[in-house]
Amino acid sequence: MTVDLLDRLKEAKTPLSGTVLAVVMGVSRAAVHKRIEKLRLAGHRIAGTNRVGYRWAGSLDRLDPHLLKRGWLKQVIHYRVLGSTQDEAKSRAVAGGPEGTLVLADRQTQGRGRMGRRWISPNGGLWYSLILRPSVQPVWAPALTLVAALDWVEVLRARGVPAGVKWPNDVWAEGKKLGGILTEMSSETDRVHWICLGVGVNVNNRPPVGTVVPAASVLAWTGVLSRETLLNEWGTRFARSYARFNRSGFSPFRLAYERRSILTGARVSFNDLSGRREGRVLGVNAEGQLRLAVARGEILCSSGEVSLLRPAEGKKRS
Ligand code: BTN
């Protein structure tokens, strides 16, 4: 009921009186009042009184892990400050932590990004790592992160953010990076032990400056959003996608990924251990590798860094 009440308050355009809330929720006014106090104690800023009406003063978006929908999660471990959720999740995974363990931090002091980069993680963003133990062959596993990024793109687009995915698993909008995923995995030849899916999204925080690529926060398009709500939306989607991925791999997501990719048809440069190449992005294959048309035909890129040189003809920048 606390979740329900919070959602109603967050969505309401005008203050809601205790009487109205009691009627729509089918409880007594005293029960509404008690819940309001509980939400306030949990750090939500709720202005007003029973008589004049309550209003969610959402500028302080304090994460309340108790309000996360538990269906898709086995356990949520929440820290106000942590070095890196990824390091914490990894040690838990190594120690046998169950699939569906979510490590979440309001702020990270040692956040890590791909390519050994630093990931700036102040209050207001979403920084979390999820332990997964997929039942696919290790070669298929990396594509799971493309699916996780695609789900973030869909969640943000549903809220009017013109987001797109940038291979392999970045979330971009209008030429700026909103978030990214760092995936680490332990496996043997034919079995995945665990995957830690480390996700960082700039939501209500000021975007970092001086980063390798320009960054932005979701806030710029939507105003302050509830991070719990966003995470619940992503989690609900991802739980479905994960089940599908375990059954059928990346193939069922391939077309949707290409449709949402900001690189499809674009001219790019690609850097990996074997050097720098230029080409035109044809799409992705069923393993999630990037297909690049180069002078001598087609190459497949598995891991590395892609930079956009020229967007696809007639494609709007996302
Ligand atoms: C990227 O470089 O695009 C990936 C960034 C991943 C950052 C997230 S924030 C939560 C988790 N903990 C970390 O230290 N990194 C990941």
What pLDDT score does 317 carry? 58
Residue identified by tokens 């900001």 is 262
Ligand 1 neighbourhood includes 179 CB (under 6 angstroms): no
Q: What is the mean pLDDT of residues 63-88?
A: 85
Query: How high is the pLDDT of residue 60?
Result: 53
Q: Supply the pLDDT for residue 313.
A: 75
DSSP secondary structure letters along 174-213 = TTEEEEEEEEEEEEETTEEEEEEEEEEE-SSSPPPSS-SS
Query: 180: CA distance to ligand 1 center in Å?
Result: 6
Atom number in ligand 1 closest to CA 85: 12
The CA distance from 247 to 221, in Å, is 36
Q: What is the pLDDT of residue 226?
A: 87
Average pLDDT estimate for 66-80: 81
Q: Which residue has the tokens 């926060």?
A: 217
As a whole-number percent, the residues of the chain with pLDDT over 90 amount to 66
The answer to whether the CB of 183 is under 6 A from ligand 1 is no
* Cα-to-centroid distance, 108 and ligand 1 (Å): 10
Work out which ligand 1 atom sits closest to the CA atom of 125: 9
Distance separating alpha carbons of residues 262 and 166, to the nearest angstrom: 6
Which of the two residues, 25 and 49, has the higher pLDDT score?
A: 25
Q: Decide whether any atom of ligand 1 lies within 6 Å of the 318 Cβ.
A: no
pLDDT digits 0-9 by tens, 262-310: 999 999 999 888 889 899 999 999 999 999 999 889 999 988 889 989 8
Ligand 1 pocket residue status of 216, Cβ below 6 Å: no
Neighbours of 302 (CB within 10 A): 12
How confident is the prediction for the chain on average, in pLDDT? 90
Check residue 68 and give its pLDDT.
73
Cβ(181) – ligand 1 distance below 6 Å: yes
State the average pLDDT over residues 257-262: 97
H or E element that contains 239: helix 227-248
Q: Whose CA is nearest to atom 5 of ligand 1?
A: 113
**Ligand 1 lined by 85 (C-beta under 6 Å):** yes
Confidence of residue 12 (pLDDT cuts 50, 70, 90): confident
